[in-house]
Structure 1
Amino acid sequence: AGERYDTLTLPLTTSITIGFQSSAWMANLYWGSGGTWSIVNRLNLGLRPDGYINTSPVTTTLPVVFYPINTRITHIVQMADNDGTDILQCRWSNSASGTNYNRIDECGGICSGLPPGTVLTAANCTLSFTLPTANEYYACALQIEDYFSSSYSTPMSSVPIQFLFYGYIASSTACSQRPSIIGDRPNRGMNAS
């Protein structure tokens, strides 16, 4: 898990797909274990309809998010765009290289990596799902895309986010009491208990 930064100088008219592809996803994946991986980003430096250079959306998450099994979970993937008027949508990354905006396999062996019945709400990038098996990882591959307005059907850019959920068995006594801060808090100059 991680991030990578590179600096390149590109002409303003550039519209390019960049990505990484390889193999060997971990063995204890719910779907796609040992399979290929692919992560793809679409950069579009052309001018937007309003004459400005587009700023791609941004997103971030922990590489692994832990949830109890057999519990309906609502997980929100954070997304933002410096172009305040853009319409942001997220969608499943897919391998349909002839139909997705990037024109290449965006997710390798982890396309559809979450359990059946998982629902993605595109407008606010909210996932609703139930993890069925403990001690397994569930891969999630999404694309965050920005549209100039709701009347546009082609995104200006497409940013990937891939991360894992890990299913565990919740203790029968877990979380019976809400978390609280106890002890000295020197940075606050007070004692909280």
Structure 2
Amino acid sequence: MNHTRRTWATVDLTAAEENINKIRSIVGGDCAIMSVVKADGYGHGAVEISKTIDKNTDYFAVSNIDEAIQIRVGGIKKPILILGYTPPRSMDLIAKYDVTQTVFSYDYGKMLAQAAEDLGKKIKVHIKIDTGMNRLGFSVQNEEEKALSTEKIKELYKGKNLEFEGIFTHFAVADEPEKPF
């Protein structure tokens, strides 16, 4: 324990394991679970937490390529999704460590596809939809934006260097009933 700090966190890995086991028992085996372990497992040790919950986790999510490499090198074999931006020049690392990248805009998707083509590789991707967080994602805030985003995603899908695995969002205001998302 660090006695110069006034606060600390004690992580009970047994409790983390019990929590993921309980979640699995509720959702069942037909529902995939993605465990988010970004920011060093929210300060609790990404590798340790990931190994502890690995048995009942189908997919892991991290913020960036460095975090993905950390848990991959730490022994995680399951799929890993990067939720944030990875520079196209780092697509060699995405391919080397078999990581999935988020695509949050048409232009970014085109850059990733070109980088993958230059490497002679296919890059696995998930599409991010912006439902109100207004940070990253294809916008669907109105009918015009929905239509434009749909067309842009379809165009990216026609390419041969991006392997589409999934689509996701982050509900920013799920507790505000007056917001449509």
TM-score, normalised to structure 2's length? Answer: 0.23
Q: Which structure carries more relative contact order (alpha carbon 8 Å, separation 6+)?
A: 1
Report the structure, 1 or 2, having the larger strand content.
1
Report the structure, 1 or 2, having the larger helix content.
2
